[in-house]
A and B are shown apart, each in its own frame.
Chain A
Amino acid sequence: MAVKSDIQEIRISGISASPGICIGKACLVDTHGVEVLNTYYILDSDLKKEKNRFKAAVKKAKNDLRDIIKDTPKELRQQSSILESHVVLLEDKLLYDKTLETMEAELINAEWALKRVVTDLKAVFNEMEDEYFRERANDIVQVSERIWNKLIGAAPVDISEIRKRVILVANDLSPADTSQIQLEKVMGFITDRGGKASHTSIIARSLEIPAVQGLNRATSVIKNDDLIVLDGVAGLVIINPTEETLIEFEVRKELYEVQKAQIGRQSHLDATTTDGITFSVMGNIELPEEVVSVLGYGGDGIGLYRTEFQYLSRPDFPTENELYEKYKDVIDVMGDRPVTIRTLDVNGDKAMGNGKAVAEENPALGLRAIRYCLQKPDVFMTQLRAILRAAAHGKVRLLIPMISGMEEITKTKAMLQAAAAELKKEKKVYNSDIEIGIMIEVPSAVMLADSMAPEVDFFSIGTNDLIQYSLAIDRGNREVAHMFNPLHPAIIKMVKHVADVSQKTGTKLYMCGEMAADPANIPLLLGLGIDELSMNSQAIPAVKSMIRLLDTKATRKFTKKVLALNTSDEILDLCQESYGDLLEEHFSVVR
């Protein structure tokens, strides 16, 4: 560990999880950062003393929890009930008794025994299919950390007690942790673990404060009250900045705020290029309530309505009426703006945890999305009927996920016709004159794009899965996650192929994957010929602003050059050369 005799500026890089720049004092909320595990064997004669040390630590942890619960105001009942369940876990046989037994059987110290027991329990929970139950491992880990802190005598800062505005630094922040923080006091987040899709980044983005994650060693390098510069755009943390650095970043921060305000003010205007072409920029949603956010950020419609949420963790499948009401809610708010409803993308039985799903080794390559729906025609029919009924109230588009061959399209259209016929016979109100499209995410669909084009009205490219399937990468696998790259020449060529087919056949081309949300990718996407982009609502203003800065003829020239390159690095260099200045000036993006 570095000796901090003279204050030296230290810079560490991580994943930019939420944009923005802030300068402030660090507040560590978890001193149990890097795993420096105290493990040693004990003598038989010391066993009783060691067991008592463990029991005392548990007692102290329990008293702490009880005090916090007592001080938690009534409105925060949910927080206190999580803590109450932690008190119960502290005394649980499989944690408490098992640790004591392990200490006795192996003659090892309390910390080691506790670590062993928790690791074993984590393994059991990791095997569980249901995400809710799997996540309960986190509660066990948090409880064990409380005991741990009492054992090693560390004094963690109580999150709920933070009074001044600080930059929070932690190993990881769970939903239970963030729920206890007075979020107005937080200027930014720094964590060792986590990434763009983590809970912390979602909270940071909705609060519009910067966050940098995945730093690995932030908690061992940063000390309480250290002055920190946090650059959420660049994913950079600067500890003890020099005078020059401070000035540089104060300026950058000002610039960023001005840019952000500017971008925000214009978000409701059309996204029209300098040569007069207007593009629709849409929002991706999962819950009907998010519709408001899409409109708030200037979205021109819904490019992807993920309908899975209605099927999660419930005792039975949603009824046609339930689905119809939810879809209608979204359509009503959107008025005459398009709403693209994507049919069930998961395995319905797994989502509900009804025990009917067969365990799969490779669920991403398994029975889900259109395959699941075609195998469960009642579930699919119910959804199709609800969509057709909702379509009577606005501009609905139907989007089918995970299409890998022609038969799936044919069968779906047949079922859609059957659903319309049923509704007609029942004299229900419906509209079957809707646009039908397919997700292009499985590589085989890219190859068959020209055969599929006549059968559909639009393609929607799902870059997240397309990249995973084409480059054979599991994004959740830490060992290869860094290989996930939208600017891979193969991916760009695949999109180009689909774009060419679309142009030739008059099929509309949309993109709803994360690639569309980054302003840096927009020149390429416009140059390739994408007609419409859809993204998480917070990204809409910046993308619209980027479009307004571009000339489509120039983007096509740019794309042609990109297509001649063979490596991502060369492509990134070209992007930097062509649009680097623009991105820095308007979005504070510095490579």
Chain B
Amino acid sequence: MTEKPNRSTGKATLVNALGLHARSAAKIAAAAKAARAGVRLKRGESEADATSVIDILTLACPAGETLEFIIEDPEDYDILKNLLDLVNNGFGETQ
């Protein structure tokens, strides 16, 4: 895959007990939708569109997994940061 010049990526690890379940997926999708040029989500070799809850769910990420978010437009950097915070803070879920 050719690296686009404006691409940025960031990694975060799922710390909440249920991993990337429906509610956390919905939070990611909601945050990602605000991006100008889209956000992609990677688990290992598999990729999903981070604005689609269904696509995120097909990654079936359990707790403890490391996710990679990819944005194409540097204007979306804040959103990338939000997403990383969301994951790192366990989506605000009480354990």
Contacts and interface: CB of A to CB of B under 8 A. Distances in A.
Contact of B55 (A94, A132, A353): A94
Nearest to A130: B60
Interface string A60-90: 0000000000000000000001001100110
A9 to B, nearest CB: 45
B26 A93 contact: no
A85 B22 contact: yes
A354 B57 contact: no
A85 B60 contact: no
A121 B22 contact: no
B58 interface: yes
Contacts of B68: none
A88 B62 contact: no
Contact of A354 (B30, B54, B62): B62
Contacts of B17: 313-315
B52 A136 contact: no
A139 interface: yes
A453 B8 CA distance: 65
Contacts of A352: 62
Contact of B51 (A93, A136, A353): A93
A445 B60 CA distance: 38
B49 interface: yes
Contact of A81 (B19, B23, B60): B23
Give 10 nearest A-B pairs by CB, closest first: A353-B62, A315-B63, A94-B54, A133-B60, A93-B52, A88-B26, A92-B54, A315-B64, A94-B52, A85-B22
Contacts of A89: 53-54
B52 A92 contact: yes
A469 interface: no
A352 B18 CA distance: 10
A472 interface: no
B29 interface: yes
Contacts of B65: 355
13 contacts: A81-B23, A85-B23, A89-B54, A92-B52, A92-B55, A94-B54, A128-B60, A133-B57, A136-B22, A139-B22, A313-B17, A313-B62, A353-B19
B11 interface: no
Contacts of A353: 19, 60, 62-63
A437 B70 CA distance: 54
Interface in B5-39: 17-19, 21-23, 26, 29-30
A291 B28 CA distance: 40
Contacts of B26: 84-85, 88
B22 A93 contact: no
Interface in A353-368: 353-355
Interface residues of A, number: 28
A130 B26 CA distance: 19
A355 B62 contact: yes
B13 to A, nearest CB: 10
A42 interface: no
Given A81-B23, A132-B18, 6 more contacts: A84-B26, A88-B53, A89-B53, A93-B54, A128-B58, A139-B22
Nearest to A121: B54
Nearest to A314: B17
B17 to A, nearest CB: 6
A355 B26 CA distance: 23
Interface in A403-444: none
A314 B19 CA distance: 9
A129 B61 CA distance: 11
A354 B19 CA distance: 10
Contact of A140 (B29, B49, B54): B54
Nearest to A93: B52
B6 to A, nearest CB: 23
Q: Which of B21, B22, B51 is packed against the most chain A CB atoms within 10 Å? A: B22
Contact of B21 (A88, A132, A316): A132
Contacts of B22: 85, 136, 139
Contacts of B23: 81, 85
A249 interface: no
A372 interface: no
A81 B26 CA distance: 11
Contacts of B21: 132-133
Nearest to B63: A315
Contacts of A140: 54
Nearest to A82: B22
A279 interface: no
Nearest to B19: A353
A352 B26 CA distance: 22
A272 to B, nearest CB: 48
A572 interface: no
A311 to B, nearest CB: 13
Q: Which of B19, B26, B60 is packed against the most chain A CB atoms within 10 Å? A: B60
A124 interface: yes
A485 to B, nearest CB: 36
A472 B23 CA distance: 40
A314 B54 contact: no
Contacts of B64: 315-316, 354-355
Contacts of B54: 89, 92-95, 121, 140
B42 to A, nearest CB: 15
Q: Which of A94, A125, A139, A314 is packed against the most chain B CB atoms within 10 Å? A: A94
Contacts of B53: 85, 88-89, 92
